Structure formats: structure tokens, C-alpha cells
Amino acid sequence: MPLNVARASVVSPPELIPDARNGKALEEVKVLAKELNPVLGYWDPLNLCRLNLYGQGDDATVGFVRHAEIKHGRVAMAAFVGYIVHENGWRWPWPLSTSLPDYSSFEGLSAPAVWDATPAASKLQIILFVGFLEVWSETKFVLESDGEKHYMRGGKPGYFPTFDLGKPDYSSGNPLGWGVAHPVPFNLFDPFKLTGGLSAEEKARLRLVEINNGRLAMLGIMAFVSAAAVPGAVPALTNAIKHYDGEVMAPFAPEFHLNF
């Protein structure tokens, strides 16, 4: 009997097994997809939203996938603008480091080659800063201080917590909330609080705009990189992007290291 039960559990088609993982998040993302692109609608050919990531269920998986898309879109938008800024010769007005009083050593380089020419100490600062932001945004204590949840636990995908660590509590003699001695004057998201007076409908519209712009930026930055690595790969960018002979994905290679 146990053997028969085990055999039945293996050969039974998934449709006959009640799906306890299916939650409202998947239905919400289908509605969101239609709002983002009424023509294409929900399109998930790899079935990523049903991966049951880490065994956490569909709601957590959808939250993870949505958060990842928004994050990648934001990085791509910054990269897209940064690529254009460099290719047009616009420079930061201050020295990159004490050993680089100006940016003459970057002249004539393609945007990816600038990373190769950046001092190791500067690279380390960038990596540590981004690492701090990642840890901060994933920490339960920090999110709860903002009254939010983790995106895999029903929180808002794409939400980045403030650096305030809770509202000030003057009654307890602690005017800085959770006791942060020197709070950061600007938060990463909306540092000038420009969205404070917007209606809920307008904020929802801007969230859709952000996702769509992020998707376009991901395509755009890959077009830049492709044009730099393979001349003629993107006809519209021929002779508009400097050639790059290096390995674009080198920072993500297992053997990648910083030389000091």
C-alpha cells in the first residue's frame, strides 16, 4: 500500500493536486501587466511567477520577481543615462581620487572601459556602498521602522526604506526616533519629497511609468553594450558608440578580483 501511494503521488498530473501556493499576488500581477501594456498583457513564457522560489509559495515568488524587475530597471535607467553622459564628454567636477586630479586618463575610452581604468580603491568604495544599500533594504528591522514589510512577505515591490529609522519620539527624550546620532539628510527615494502632494492615483500612474521606463532602459543599455562590443550589431548606433575590447561581464565572473 505505501508503495502504491508513493507511485500515485509521482505519476499524478499536477492538475489533479490542489495548488495551495496560488495566491492573490499572481492575479494582481496579471492585472498590472495589462495596465503596463494593454496590447501584450501578461506574458511569462518561462513561468517565472510559478517557480515557488525557496519553497515560499507563489505570492513570495511574485514579490521577488516584481522587486527584481523594478530594481534592475532602476539600475538600467542610471546606466543608460550614465553611458550617454560619458559618451558626450560630460565629467564630474570633482576629482575621482587623490591620484586622479582630473579625468584626462578617461578621454577616448568607452563607458565600460572607464570601470577598467577606475582605481581599485574607488571600485571598492562603490561595491561597499551598493552592498550597504542592499543590506539596508532587506533588513526586517529597517523595513518595520518604516511601517513596511519585506516584498516576499506582502510588502511593496520596489520599496526602499528611508534612513530615518522611525518617526522622532519627543516624549521619550529621543528626538531622532530609533537613536540614530546623525541621520542622513536625504533619503535614496524621493530625497526632495516631491511626491508628497500627489494623489494615490497619480502615484500609481508614476509607478507604471517607472516600470515601463525601466524595461526600455534595460533594452537600451544592452543595445549600447552590444554596439560597443560588436561593431554593427546595432545599426542605429553604428559610429555613435566607442568600441570596447574588454569583457563587459568581468565583474560578475568567478575569478574577478580587485588589484591593490
What's the whole-number mean pLDDT along residues 235-254?
84
Q: Is 229 helix (H, G, I), strand (E, B) or coil?
A: helix
User: Domain extents for the chain?
Assistant: 20-252
Pick the CATH number of 20-252 from 1.10.150, 1.10.3470, 3.30.70, 1.10.3460: 1.10.3460
Query: Binding site for chlorophyll b: what residues are annotated?
Result: 74, 176
Closest CA to 19 of 59, 54, 48: 59
Asked if pLDDT for residue 173 goes beyond 70, the answer is no
Give the per-residue SS3 of 182-220. CCCCCCCCCCCCCCCCCCHHHHHHHHHHHHHHHHHHHHH
Which grid cell sits at 248? Answer: 563587459
- Identify any residues that bridge with 96 across adjacent strands, giving them in sequence order: none
> What's the CA gap between 163 and 136, in Å, rounded?
9
Predicted confidence band of residue 237 (pLDDT cuts 50, 70, 90): very high
pLDDT for residue 172 is more than 50: yes
Q: How far is CA 150 from CA 70, 115, 142, in A?
A: 15, 33, 10
Summarised one tens digit per residue, pLDDT across range 177-208 is 554 555 566 778 787 878 888 999 999 999 99
> What pTM does this model have?
0.80
> Which one is predicted more confidently, 146 or 131?
131
Known binding residues are: 69, 72, 74, 176, 210, 213, 215, 243
Kindly tell me if the per-residue pLDDT of 20 is higher than 50: no
Q: Which residues of 221-253 are buried (b: 16+ CB within 10 A; e: fewer)?
A: bebbbbbbbeeeebeeeeeebeebeeeeeeeee
Query: How far apart, in whole angstroms, are the C-alpha atoms of residue 258 and residue 260?
Result: 6
Binding residue positions for chlorophyll a: 69, 72, 210, 213, 215, 243
